[in-house]
Amino acid sequence: MFRPRVIPCLLLRNNGLVKSVKFKDYTYVGDPLNAVKIFNEKKADELVFLDITATKEKRCINLNLVKNIGEECNMPFAVGGGISSVEQIRELLKAGAEKVCINSYAYHDLNFIKKASDEFGSSTIVVSIDVKKNIFGKQQVYINAGTKSTGANPVDYAQQVAEKGAGEIIINSVDCDGAMTGYDTALIKKVADAVDVPVVALGGAGSLNDLKKAVTEGNASAVAAGSLFVFHGSRRAVLINFPTQKELVTLFE
Protein backbone atom coordinates (compact mmCIF):
# COMPACT_ATOMS: atom_id res chain seq x y z
CA MET A 1 0.00 0.00 0.00
CA PHE A 2 1.26 3.47 -0.84
CA ARG A 3 2.22 5.82 1.97
CA PRO A 4 -0.03 8.89 1.71
CA ARG A 5 1.08 12.34 2.76
CA VAL A 6 0.31 13.17 6.40
CA ILE A 7 -0.14 16.90 6.93
CA PRO A 8 -0.48 18.95 10.12
CA CYS A 9 -3.08 21.67 9.53
CA LEU A 10 -2.43 24.73 11.68
CA LEU A 11 -4.96 27.49 12.28
CA LEU A 12 -3.83 31.09 12.63
CA ARG A 13 -5.64 33.75 14.61
CA ASN A 14 -3.93 37.07 15.40
CA ASN A 15 -0.68 35.46 14.17
CA GLY A 16 -0.89 32.79 16.88
CA LEU A 17 -1.84 29.13 16.56
CA VAL A 18 -5.29 28.08 17.74
CA LYS A 19 -7.38 24.93 17.62
CA SER A 20 -11.14 24.84 17.31
CA VAL A 21 -14.02 22.48 18.00
CA LYS A 22 -16.65 22.62 15.25
CA PHE A 23 -15.11 25.94 14.13
CA LYS A 24 -15.80 27.44 17.60
CA ASP A 25 -14.29 27.32 21.11
CA TYR A 26 -10.78 28.31 20.09
CA THR A 27 -7.83 27.25 22.24
CA TYR A 28 -4.46 28.98 21.92
CA VAL A 29 -1.79 26.38 21.25
CA GLY A 30 1.37 28.40 20.68
CA ASP A 31 3.65 30.25 18.33
CA PRO A 32 3.56 29.15 14.67
CA LEU A 33 7.34 29.40 14.18
CA ASN A 34 7.98 27.24 17.21
CA ALA A 35 5.57 24.66 15.79
CA VAL A 36 7.42 24.77 12.46
CA LYS A 37 10.72 24.05 14.21
CA ILE A 38 9.21 21.01 15.94
CA PHE A 39 7.62 19.70 12.75
CA ASN A 40 10.98 20.15 11.02
CA GLU A 41 12.54 17.88 13.64
CA LYS A 42 9.67 15.40 13.36
CA LYS A 43 9.97 15.38 9.55
CA ALA A 44 6.33 16.09 8.71
CA ASP A 45 5.49 15.65 5.02
CA GLU A 46 3.89 19.06 4.50
CA LEU A 47 2.24 21.81 6.54
CA VAL A 48 -0.93 23.82 5.96
CA PHE A 49 -1.49 27.22 7.59
CA LEU A 50 -4.98 28.71 7.45
CA ASP A 51 -5.74 32.20 8.76
CA ILE A 52 -9.30 31.72 10.01
CA THR A 53 -10.21 35.41 10.47
CA ALA A 54 -8.69 36.84 7.26
CA THR A 55 -11.85 36.60 5.13
CA LYS A 56 -14.05 38.09 7.83
CA GLU A 57 -11.55 40.94 8.25
CA LYS A 58 -11.34 41.41 4.45
CA ARG A 59 -7.59 40.89 4.25
CA CYS A 60 -5.11 38.25 3.14
CA ILE A 61 -3.01 36.04 5.40
CA ASN A 62 -0.09 38.03 6.84
CA LEU A 63 2.68 38.10 4.23
CA ASN A 64 5.47 38.75 6.74
CA LEU A 65 4.41 35.75 8.77
CA VAL A 66 4.43 33.62 5.62
CA LYS A 67 7.96 34.87 4.86
CA ASN A 68 9.07 33.96 8.37
CA ILE A 69 7.52 30.52 8.01
CA GLY A 70 9.21 30.12 4.63
CA GLU A 71 12.61 30.93 6.13
CA GLU A 72 12.14 28.37 8.91
CA CYS A 73 10.23 25.57 7.19
CA ASN A 74 12.12 22.55 5.80
CA MET A 75 9.11 21.00 4.08
CA PRO A 76 6.56 22.18 1.50
CA PHE A 77 3.76 24.26 2.99
CA ALA A 78 0.47 25.74 1.87
CA VAL A 79 -1.19 28.91 3.13
CA GLY A 80 -4.74 30.16 3.03
CA GLY A 81 -6.97 32.90 4.37
CA GLY A 82 -8.59 35.77 2.50
CA ILE A 83 -6.90 35.09 -0.85
CA SER A 84 -8.79 36.85 -3.62
CA SER A 85 -6.32 37.95 -6.29
CA VAL A 86 -3.62 36.60 -8.57
CA GLU A 87 -1.21 39.21 -7.17
CA GLN A 88 -1.74 37.96 -3.62
CA ILE A 89 -0.94 34.43 -4.77
CA ARG A 90 2.20 35.65 -6.51
CA GLU A 91 3.42 37.37 -3.33
CA LEU A 92 2.66 34.33 -1.14
CA LEU A 93 4.56 32.03 -3.48
CA LYS A 94 7.48 34.47 -3.53
CA ALA A 95 7.39 34.40 0.29
CA GLY A 96 8.03 30.67 0.23
CA ALA A 97 4.67 28.93 0.09
CA GLU A 98 4.46 26.06 -2.37
CA LYS A 99 0.65 26.07 -2.56
CA VAL A 100 -2.23 28.36 -1.72
CA CYS A 101 -5.58 27.31 -0.25
CA ILE A 102 -8.62 29.16 -1.50
CA ASN A 103 -11.96 28.77 0.21
CA SER A 104 -14.65 31.47 0.29
CA TYR A 105 -13.49 33.39 -2.77
CA ALA A 106 -13.51 30.22 -4.88
CA TYR A 107 -17.24 29.95 -4.26
CA HIS A 108 -17.85 33.61 -5.09
CA ASP A 109 -15.85 33.42 -8.34
CA LEU A 110 -15.22 29.95 -9.76
CA ASN A 111 -13.37 31.48 -12.69
CA PHE A 112 -10.75 32.77 -10.25
CA ILE A 113 -9.64 29.14 -9.85
CA LYS A 114 -9.10 28.91 -13.60
CA LYS A 115 -7.20 32.21 -13.71
CA ALA A 116 -4.98 31.15 -10.82
CA SER A 117 -4.28 27.65 -12.15
CA ASP A 118 -3.55 29.04 -15.63
CA GLU A 119 -1.10 31.52 -14.11
CA PHE A 120 0.68 29.32 -11.56
CA GLY A 121 -0.16 25.73 -12.50
CA SER A 122 -2.92 23.59 -11.02
CA SER A 123 -0.53 21.88 -8.59
CA THR A 124 -0.21 25.24 -6.80
CA ILE A 125 -3.94 25.78 -6.33
CA VAL A 126 -5.76 24.00 -3.52
CA VAL A 127 -9.45 24.55 -2.86
CA SER A 128 -10.53 23.97 0.72
CA ILE A 129 -14.18 23.00 1.13
CA ASP A 130 -15.88 23.25 4.52
CA VAL A 131 -18.90 20.97 4.85
CA LYS A 132 -21.55 21.07 7.55
CA LYS A 133 -25.03 19.61 8.05
CA ASN A 134 -27.86 22.12 8.00
CA ILE A 135 -30.81 21.94 10.43
CA PHE A 136 -32.39 19.25 8.23
CA GLY A 137 -29.26 17.08 8.37
CA LYS A 138 -28.26 17.77 4.77
CA GLN A 139 -24.56 18.33 4.09
CA GLN A 140 -23.80 21.65 2.43
CA VAL A 141 -20.79 23.76 1.58
CA TYR A 142 -20.19 26.57 4.07
CA ILE A 143 -17.96 29.63 3.59
CA ASN A 144 -16.72 32.52 5.76
CA ALA A 145 -15.05 30.20 8.29
CA GLY A 146 -18.06 27.92 8.43
CA THR A 147 -20.56 30.65 9.28
CA LYS A 148 -22.47 31.00 6.00
CA SER A 149 -24.26 28.24 4.12
CA THR A 150 -24.08 28.34 0.34
CA GLY A 151 -26.68 25.60 -0.10
CA ALA A 152 -24.26 23.90 -2.49
CA ASN A 153 -23.86 20.14 -2.57
CA PRO A 154 -20.23 19.32 -1.63
CA VAL A 155 -19.79 16.66 -4.31
CA ASP A 156 -21.16 18.87 -7.09
CA TYR A 157 -19.07 21.79 -5.91
CA ALA A 158 -15.91 19.69 -5.71
CA GLN A 159 -16.45 18.61 -9.30
CA GLN A 160 -16.84 22.25 -10.36
CA VAL A 161 -13.61 23.43 -8.73
CA ALA A 162 -11.72 20.44 -10.14
CA GLU A 163 -12.99 21.27 -13.63
CA LYS A 164 -11.83 24.87 -13.18
CA GLY A 165 -8.28 23.73 -12.45
CA ALA A 166 -7.91 23.09 -8.72
CA GLY A 167 -5.00 20.68 -8.38
CA GLU A 168 -6.05 19.43 -4.96
CA ILE A 169 -9.14 19.59 -2.75
CA ILE A 170 -9.23 19.64 1.04
CA ILE A 171 -12.53 18.33 2.41
CA ASN A 172 -13.08 19.57 5.94
CA SER A 173 -16.01 18.38 8.05
CA VAL A 174 -17.09 21.19 10.37
CA ASP A 175 -19.20 18.74 12.37
CA CYS A 176 -16.16 16.55 13.05
CA ASP A 177 -13.67 19.40 13.59
CA GLY A 178 -11.77 19.03 16.85
CA ALA A 179 -13.94 16.17 18.08
CA MET A 180 -11.14 13.62 17.53
CA THR A 181 -13.72 10.86 16.90
CA GLY A 182 -12.72 10.10 13.31
CA TYR A 183 -13.14 11.59 9.85
CA ASP A 184 -16.42 11.63 7.95
CA THR A 185 -15.18 8.87 5.67
CA ALA A 186 -18.49 8.63 3.80
CA LEU A 187 -18.23 12.30 2.77
CA ILE A 188 -14.57 11.95 1.83
CA LYS A 189 -15.29 8.89 -0.30
CA LYS A 190 -18.15 10.58 -2.16
CA VAL A 191 -15.90 13.49 -3.09
CA ALA A 192 -12.79 11.42 -3.82
CA ASP A 193 -14.75 9.11 -6.12
CA ALA A 194 -16.29 12.06 -7.98
CA VAL A 195 -13.11 13.97 -8.90
CA ASP A 196 -9.83 13.09 -10.59
CA VAL A 197 -7.60 15.28 -8.41
CA PRO A 198 -6.11 14.39 -5.02
CA VAL A 199 -8.48 14.79 -2.07
CA VAL A 200 -7.10 15.59 1.38
CA ALA A 201 -9.19 14.50 4.37
CA LEU A 202 -9.50 16.98 7.25
CA GLY A 203 -11.63 17.19 10.38
CA GLY A 204 -11.93 14.66 13.17
CA ALA A 205 -8.73 12.62 13.36
CA GLY A 206 -8.11 11.37 16.88
CA SER A 207 -5.76 8.45 16.27
CA LEU A 208 -3.35 7.10 13.70
CA ASN A 209 -5.96 4.50 12.79
CA ASP A 210 -8.31 7.33 11.78
CA LEU A 211 -5.67 8.45 9.27
CA LYS A 212 -5.61 4.97 7.79
CA LYS A 213 -9.41 4.76 7.58
CA ALA A 214 -9.58 8.04 5.64
CA VAL A 215 -7.38 6.40 3.01
CA THR A 216 -8.72 2.82 3.01
CA GLU A 217 -12.40 3.65 3.51
CA GLY A 218 -12.55 7.24 2.29
CA ASN A 219 -10.20 6.91 -0.71
CA ALA A 220 -8.35 10.06 0.38
CA SER A 221 -5.02 10.72 -1.32
CA ALA A 222 -3.64 12.46 1.77
CA VAL A 223 -4.69 13.12 5.35
CA ALA A 224 -4.51 16.32 7.37
CA ALA A 225 -5.16 16.87 11.06
CA GLY A 226 -4.93 19.55 13.71
CA SER A 227 -5.83 18.33 17.20
CA LEU A 228 -4.09 14.98 16.70
CA PHE A 229 -0.77 16.78 16.24
CA VAL A 230 -1.11 19.52 18.87
CA PHE A 231 -2.84 17.85 21.83
CA HIS A 232 -1.84 15.00 24.09
CA GLY A 233 -4.00 12.94 26.44
CA SER A 234 -7.60 13.21 27.58
CA ARG A 235 -6.99 16.62 29.13
CA ARG A 236 -5.87 17.93 25.74
CA ALA A 237 -2.53 19.23 26.99
CA VAL A 238 -0.73 21.14 24.26
CA LEU A 239 2.12 19.05 22.88
CA ILE A 240 3.25 19.44 19.28
CA ASN A 241 3.80 15.92 18.00
CA PHE A 242 3.99 13.85 14.83
CA PRO A 243 4.36 10.10 14.21
CA THR A 244 7.74 8.73 13.24
CA GLN A 245 8.40 7.70 9.67
CA LYS A 246 8.55 4.09 10.84
CA GLU A 247 5.14 4.39 12.50
CA LEU A 248 3.65 5.80 9.30
CA VAL A 249 5.18 3.16 7.05
CA THR A 250 3.88 0.44 9.38
CA LEU A 251 0.45 2.10 9.56
CA PHE A 252 -0.05 2.12 5.81
CA GLU A 253 1.53 -1.25 5.02
Confidence of residue 1 (pLDDT cuts 50, 70, 90): low
pLDDT at 31 over 80: yes
Write the single-letter amino acid at 188. Answer: I
Tally of residues, the chain: 253
Indicate the pTM of the whole model: 0.96
* pLDDT above 70 coverage of the chain, percent: 100
Which residue from 44, 38, 114, 51 is spatially nearest to 79, judged by alpha carbons?
51
**Contact call for residues 33 and 22 (beta carbons, < 8 A):** no
Confidence of residue 245 (pLDDT cuts 50, 70, 90): very high
The residues that are catalytic are: 130
What is the pLDDT of the chain when averaged over all its residues?
96
| Model pLDDT for residues 159-211, shown as the tens digit of each residue | 999 999 999 999 999 999 999 999 999 999 999 999 999 999 999 999 999 99
| Model pLDDT for residues 201-239, shown as the tens digit of each residue | 999 999 999 999 999 999 999 999 999 999 987 778 889
Interior CA angle at 72 toward 103 and 237, to 5°?
Answer: 75
